[in-house]
Amino acid sequence: MGTSPDFGPCLRAGTLLPVWCAYSARARATPRSREVPLRILLADDHLIVRQGLKVLMQREGFEIAGEAADGQQAVRIARDRCPDVAVLDFAMPVLNGLDAAREILRICPRARVILLTMHTEDRYVHEALRAGVSGYIVKTQATADLVRAIREVSRDMTYLSPRVSRTVVQAYLAKADVPDPLTPREREVLRHVAEGKTTKEVAALLGISVKTTEAHRMRVMKKLETHNTAGIVRYAIRQGLIQV
């Protein structure tokens, strides 16, 4: 099941978790007509890797819009030729693949970017998706995944290598399994305190005594291991209890 670039499920190919698809939702220009070959920019600091990818791309009928040995060169080529898809190595000299991706998407909004990387940790994946990257592929799986990924991202979908998808899902489930340390009443008190209300105001809103409210507040601070209101506010923001 595929999806448009809006929020919704994005389960095609290696992509497993709907929430991560949201990171790459952004305003985009109308994609090029598929009557012409997809134009691909290849960027990797290892010539032999670029040559191998080039052969693979051409065998699939893609057009090579340019080749780059570093991120800065990739940005220059993208500025001149605006490829349909930019395939970037994460660890390139001068300008790394992620920073190059941000710049390419800024100067060429219709482009889609796929990162090739050895990093499978979920924090790297999150950062890439937040930057607008459409595909994230482990280099050891590039031969098997890249062609499929290019076709997916050209249709405004997000593609993650199966290995990356598993990592993201496991990280998400691990966080989801962490029990909330606060009771419903303590969360109410926390939310009001984080919004800047005094103990007296919170007590009036909840219909409880000032002494009880203060006791809830002290338990909240103890459970969160914080000694001031700033720590309460940070927790409330992370949990989505207040808007900033």
Does the pLDDT at position 128 exceed 70?
A: yes
If pLDDT is split at 50, 70 and 90, which confidence band does 238 have? confident
> Could you report the per-residue pLDDT of 188-223, keeping only the tens digit for each?
999 999 989 999 999 999 999 999 999 999 999 998
Tokens describing residue 144: 């098997």
What pTM was computed for the model?
Answer: 0.60
Tokens describing residue 133: 């990257």
Distance, in Å, from the CA atom of 46 to the CA atom of 92, rounded to the nearest integer, reads 9
Q: Of 240, 239, 185, which Cα lies nearest the Cα of 217?
A: 185
Return the pLDDT at 178.
56
Beta strands in the chain (DSSP E): 39-43, 63-68, 85-89, 112-117, 135-138, 159-160
Cα 28 to Cα 10, 111, 157, distances in angstroms: 17, 9, 12
> Domains, the chain, ranges and CATH?
18-175 (3.40.50.2300), 184-238 (1.10.10.10)
> Could you report the per-residue pLDDT of 15-49, keeping only the tens digit for each?
434 333 434 433 344 444 457 899 999 999 999 99
- 3-state class of 161 per DSSP? coil
Tokens describing residue 175: 């966080």
Distance, in Å, from the CA atom of 112 to the CA atom of 130, rounded to the nearest integer, reads 14
Return the pLDDT at 174.
66
